Amino acid sequence: MGVDPFTLYYYFWYGAEPDRGAYPDGGVDIEVLPAYDVEELFDSYELTGSTDAAATWSLVSKWIRNCATGHAKCGHINQQSWAPTRLLDVAAENSNEGLRLCELRGDLKGERYMTLSHCWGKTQPIRLLRGNLEAMLRSVSLKSLPKTFKDAIHITRRLGVKYLWIDAMCILQDSTTDWLSESALMEQVYRRSFCNIAASDAFDSDGGCYYTRNPYFIQPFWVDINNGSSPEQHCLVKSSPHWVTRLGRAPLNRRAWVIQERFLAPRALHLGKDQITWECRELIASESFPKGLPDTDLDFLYESLREIIAGAETFPNPSSTCSVHTKEGLIYAWNYLVDIYIRCDLTKPEDKLIAISGLATAMQRSLGTYLAGIWECSLPDGLLWTTVHPSRSRPSQYRAPSWSWASVEGLVHYYSTYAHELYWGYWVFILNAQVTAYGANGTGQVTAGSLRIQGRPALTRFSKKSEWPFAIASVRNPRGNELSMSAYFYPDGKDQAAMGEFTCLPIGVLTKGDSDPWLDEDDVDTDDVDTDDVDTDDVDTDDVDTDDVDTDDVGTDGAFLRLYGLVLQRETWCFKRVGVFILHNKHSAIFQSLPECAITIV
């Protein structure tokens, strides 16, 4: 009987005894892994006292060399056929003190470029403006740059790369036209870069990329463990999972813009305070584990998403090349990315669609028409998102149509993301969906959007039952009679949480079967429901949270008996979404008795 992997937690208290209810002021997690789990990954590489050491960068060069020449998934990456509008020429011949901005007009002439991901901070010492463009095209003093930029230039030079792209210095910051034009190219800028430099632990542009450290805090070491009932076993002792707990929570990775930069860049150097981490499409490694991180360190969902997004680049024709299975996986990946993205910080809320447009552009090759954060091929399922504990009002400045998650503040989640192995029996048919893009970027800002949908809308009056989200829904039938029932009402914003009269549009029933047995077949136009688009082979019911599901809502075969729909508010000629509702499906009969009609949601 061997030793299984385990974690030790050490916590530190100051000024109060632990048994008096004090909270720890700090701590460290230490993992103990059996040798057979990590022996092939561990290397005798000795960490130094600085991430700027020659030995560290010799290892970085080795990672890059092996990736470029030996990785099947990485070797074909072609970054030389396209160039950003502007790049910084950091070549050594410009001297250690100087560099200059270049306008390459799309021709790199066989050279490569790197990119920088960084936190801007509250102030930016240097920015490209219309007033200094000509001067920066002549030269830029290295002394005038903040530490993060200087370090990024030093890294680019020591890796033998001629050009570097930094957003603050390569996009005109006082030109809306240039900013919108360049933001539309973010997918290409990062996807075609040779490698991305991620200043992970720098809170602002003065934080830098290099750090001194105590290598003994992070250097793994071997021990022999005897648990008294089995032979002594060789084990490796290491610090807590670096990739998930340290790097995943770094200041840089809390920025919304960085989500697409991480997923799009073919290679990345994550420059942390404790060590440097390498990431490409075949390997995630660190100075502690130069040959690859152990499984306990990895986030397999992150890796799966990265692989799916990289694969999306290979499907040029969404109508023929991308299979149903691929689309299902891509849509699931997109919904999960949205869940991650909206948890991150965004300085300007109006950038909500722009800051993820690079990922949308990459996935558009497979998924087709993009509608302000929602894919047309995911409708009507794409409409069934909800805010998580709405605490803010909808923004006064138009950002997206009300049926898009981008139109609200705060966290949202898709019901389908957490409803594996379940089937939607849809009650609606999408007649038309469109958005009007602001400028040439079809995946960026929008100025308008509308959804024409056919279904069975019903006038519904919500009254408070107890605490949010429980309510009494009184639905009016064609004869003017009302049927009252318990319901869940999830408003999109705190300004829309008031009870009153709305229009409820049932979207569908979530079941566990391969059909919807609770609807009369005569009431469903099966021509409009394509069951081939539903893939349940790879789903896991363990991810479904059933704590809030009444036992009355579950059929004898385990099928969920709930009806999901949109809560709408009538405007002059159309409707706006204000929330979602959920009903026990035994109340669905009143909606089935209503006539079908087409309405427009904006």
Backbone angles phi, psi at 18, to 5 degrees: -55, -35
In the chain, the amino acid numbered 56 is: T
Residue 25 corresponds to which tokens in the numbers above? 């002021």
373: helix, coil or strand?
coil
CB atoms within 10 A of CB 69: 9
Residue 430 corresponds to which tokens in the numbers above? 């999408």
- Cα–Cα nearest to 236, from 435, 43, 446, 13: 43
| Average pLDDT of the chain, as a whole number | 81
Are 83 and 197 found together in one domain?
yes
**Given this model, what pLDDT does residue 502 score?**
93
Residue numbers of the domain that contains 87:
54-215+240-298
Percent of the chain at pLDDT > 70 equals 77
What would the DSSP string read from start to end of 413-437?
A: EETGGG-TT-EEEE--EEEEEEEEE
Residue 22 included in any domain: no
Residue 407 included in any domain: yes
Higher pLDDT, residue 430 or 125: 430
Q: Using CB atoms within 10 Å of the CB of residue 494, give its burial: 0 to 12 exposed, 13 to 18 middle, 19+ buried.
A: middle
CB atoms within 10 A of CB 514: 11
CB atoms within 10 A of CB 389: 10
Per-residue pLDDT tens digits for 220-247: 777 777 766 667 777 777 776 777 778 8
Higher pLDDT, residue 199 or 43: 199
Are 501 and 385 found together in one domain?
yes
Mean pLDDT of 321-332: 69
Are 408 and 259 found together in one domain?
no
Are 520 and 386 found together in one domain?
yes
Task: Please say if the pLDDT value at position 311 is more than 80.
Answer: no
Residue 310 included in any domain: no
pLDDT band at 13 (very low <50, low <70, confident <90, very high): very low
Domain boundary among 249, 273, 298: 298
Are 281 and 377 found together in one domain?
no
- What CA–CA distance (Å, rounded) separates 492 from 579? 5
- What CA–CA distance (Å, rounded) separates 504 from 581? 8
pLDDT band at 25 (very low <50, low <70, confident <90, very high): very low
Residue 42 corresponds to which tokens in the numbers above? 């561990």
Task: Please say if the pLDDT value at position 44 is more than 50.
Answer: yes
CB 278 within 8 A of CB 284: yes
Tell me: cis bond preceding 34? Omega within 30 of 0 counts.
Answer: no
Residue 222 included in any domain: no
Are 160 and 254 found together in one domain?
yes
**Given this model, what pLDDT does residue 555 score?**
41
**Given this model, what pLDDT does residue 39 score?**
66
Provide the domain count of the chain: 2
**Given this model, what pLDDT does residue 591 score?**
85
- What CA–CA distance (Å, rounded) separates 79 from 76? 9
Residue 13 included in any domain: no
Domain boundary among 298, 326, 343: 298
- Cα–Cα nearest to 42, from 296, 295, 292, 299: 292
pLDDT band at 125 (very low <50, low <70, confident <90, very high): confident
Domain boundary among 280, 298, 316: 298
Are 293 and 389 found together in one domain?
no
> What's the full length of the chain, in residues?
602
Residue 159 included in any domain: yes
**Given this model, what pLDDT does residue 330 score?**
86
Residue 595 DSSP label: P
Helices 256-264/357-367 angle, 10° precision: 50
Residue 503 corresponds to which tokens in the numbers above? 């229009």
Q: Which of 28-37, 231-240, 505-514 has the lowest mean pLDDT?
A: 28-37
Residue 57 corresponds to which tokens in the numbers above? 């960068």
Higher pLDDT, residue 3 or 489: 489
**E strand intervals along 250-317:** 267-271, 276-280, 284-286
Residue 207 corresponds to which tokens in the numbers above? 């934080």
Name the pairing type of β-strands 195-198 and 113-117: parallel
Per-residue pLDDT tens digits for 427-451: 999 999 999 999 778 899 999 999 9
User: Which pTM value belongs to this model?
Assistant: 0.82
pLDDT band at 2 (very low <50, low <70, confident <90, very high): low
Percent of the chain at pLDDT > 90 equals 46
